[in-house]
Amino acid sequence: MRIEQSEFHDHLLRGLTHKMNNILSLFHGYLGLLMDDKKLDPETVAGLVRIRDGATAASRLMDRTKALSTPSSVWRQIAPDDFLRALVPACNGYAAHGVQIQFSCEAGLPYFWVDASGLRIALKEIVKNACEASPADGIVQIAIKRYARPVRTQGRCSISSPIGWMSISVTDFGKGIPADLNSKIFQPFFTTKNKRDSLGLGLSVALGLAQRLGGTIRIQSRPGKTTVRLLLPARARSVEPAAKIAA
């Protein structure tokens, strides 16, 4: 019954976001025609700009909401260093105001057995948050390592008897997360950013995807350093050779 309800909710969510995106596309089209009118007075143009910005924010919200539904998943065996290497261009695209992203991968790691698309989305959400939290000309570190401690998750493990766990950590050196907000950071639409286009969905989306992959997310934060650690089950076969990934 829970699986049927989950599939129904996912189907409903995908349908709603698709319909809303169609409406917003039509809205953008007519709004563009109106703004092309050179006879409009400045006050009307300013009003149309505000409407356009609101519609753009709504479109972004629909795109992010899609990630809350179950993606079309293809589970396969992935070498951690190969996964990280393929992720470099996308992650570098999130770097702003001179933020440098550094990548590293421990040697001889086991394989992931994951939905690569879901893992990419989850990690990109975390990296985006880290880049936004970083100071100008700061550094964000992404590292894949073994994780030796026991892991308790709320998701269904993708491997019946995992040999262990691996950590994909994302570290920034920004202001850190205030202790009184730790219980809220995974809540949908909660954000500490003052940006108008900040939706507060990044970490909630990442956690939901991590749990679907059989893993979880843990956060350690203090003033000057925050590490978001995505934990995933590992398969037995090791990767040879694994090496440090160049930024």
Q: Identify whether the C-beta of residue 62 lies closer than 8 Å to the C-beta of residue 54.
A: no
Contacts of 182 (CB under 8 A, 6+ apart): 219, 221
Q: What is the 3-state secondary structure (H, E, C) of 53-68?
A: HHHHHHHHHHHHHHCC
Q: Identify whether the C-beta of residue 103 lies closer than 8 Å to the C-beta of residue 84.
A: yes
Q: Identify whether the C-beta of residue 104 lies closer than 8 Å to the C-beta of residue 66.
A: no
Q: Identify whether the C-beta of residue 31 lies closer than 8 Å to the C-beta of residue 48.
A: yes
More confident residue, 61 or 180: 180
- The C-alpha atoms of residue 64 and residue 58 are separated, in whole angstroms, by 10
More confident residue, 93 or 237: 93
- Among candidate residues 154, 162, 127, the one with its CA nearest the CA of residue 211: 154
More confident residue, 211 or 231: 231
Output the pLDDT for position 6.
46
138 residue type, one letter = G
* Strand partners of residue 211: none
* Domain edges within the chain: 2-66, 75-238
pLDDT in tens, 122-141: 898 899 889 988 988 899 99
Per-residue pLDDT averaged across 96-114, rounded? 88
Residue 113 has pLDDT above 50, yes or no: yes
Cβ atoms within 10 A of the Cβ of 104, count? Answer: 17
Domain boundaries 75-238, corresponding CATH code: 3.30.565.10
Output the pLDDT for position 143.
96
| Orientation of helix 116-133 relative to helix 202-212, angle to 10° | 150
Q: How confident is the model at residue 195 (pLDDT cuts 50, 70, 90)?
A: low
pLDDT in tens, 5-60: 445 455 566 667 767 777 888 777 878 888 888 888 888 888 888 888 888 877 77
Residue 90 has pLDDT above 60, yes or no: yes
Output the pLDDT for position 49.
86
